[in-house]
Structure 1
Amino acid sequence: MEIVVYGSGCKNCDTTEQRIREVVEELGVDASVTHDHDINSAAEKGIMLTPGVTIDGEIVSEGSVPTRDEIKKWLK
């Protein structure tokens, strides 16, 4: 599973990345988590608001920091 957080490195983007990493570890999910700071890359994926998150290329969130419960639902 490939998870990408899109955002410039703002507090909300960093919080989103950290929260995803924590839940991935907690659940023992085999996933890579990366943070793409290139806003043009986000726009190419169709993400207009940050933080944005994709899982295996599909947008699962944009414009808000997801809760731990939301992240768990994505990973199941």
Structure 2
Amino acid sequence: MKQVKILGTGCAKCRQLADAVKAVIASEGIEAEVEKVEDIQKIMAYNVLSTPALVVDGEVRSKGRVPGLDELKDLLIRKS
């Protein structure tokens, strides 16, 4: 099961990324646990300075933007 984290302080784009990730996971049948991380210290531990950010299995795969659904699918499925 994939570990997916949405890093962000709760802004509109952070919520948009979380909703998009959940939609892709549901439509593609991906087994994943999604966690929203809003604590700034935990976000900075990933060396992320611009949010929202997407972390899959400990690897930062996107930051500072909300990828499109096709790109999100690739980011979630892609092996490290």
Shared topology, TM-score over 0.5?
yes
**1:74 aligns to what?**
75
Equivalent runs, 1:13-52 vs 2, <5 Å: 13-52=14-53
Number of residue pairs aligned between Structure 1 and Structure 2: 76
> Which amino acid is the alignment partner of residue 7 of structure 1?
G
Matched, 1:3 2:18: no
- Report the alpha carbon displacement of residue 39 of structure 1 after superposing the two structures with TM: 1.4
The one-letter code of the counterpart of 1:39 is I
Note the residue ranges of structure 2 that are not aligned, 5 or more in a row.
none
**Runs of 4+ off more than 3 Å:** none
Instruction: Return the alpha-carbon distance in structure 2 between the equivalents of residues 66 and 39 of structure 1.
Output: 22
**Which residue identity is paired with 2:66?**
V
* C-alpha distance in structure 2 between counterparts of 1:61 and 1:72, whole Å: 12
Does 1:53 pair with 2:48?
no
Taking the aligned partners of 2:61 and 2:45, their CA distance within structure 1 comes to 15
Shift of residue 75, structure 1, vs aligned partner: 2.4
- List runs of 5+ in structure 1 lacking aligned partners: none
| Identity over aligned pairs, percent | 30
Give the RMSD, CA atoms, in angstroms. 0.7
SS for the counterpart of 1:46 is coil
Return the alpha-carbon distance in structure 2 between the equivalents of residues 39 and 20 of structure 1: 21
Q: TM-score, normalised by structure 2?
A: 0.91
CA–CA distance in structure 2, aligned partners of residues 18 and 4 of structure 1:
12
SS state of the match for residue 54, structure 2? strand
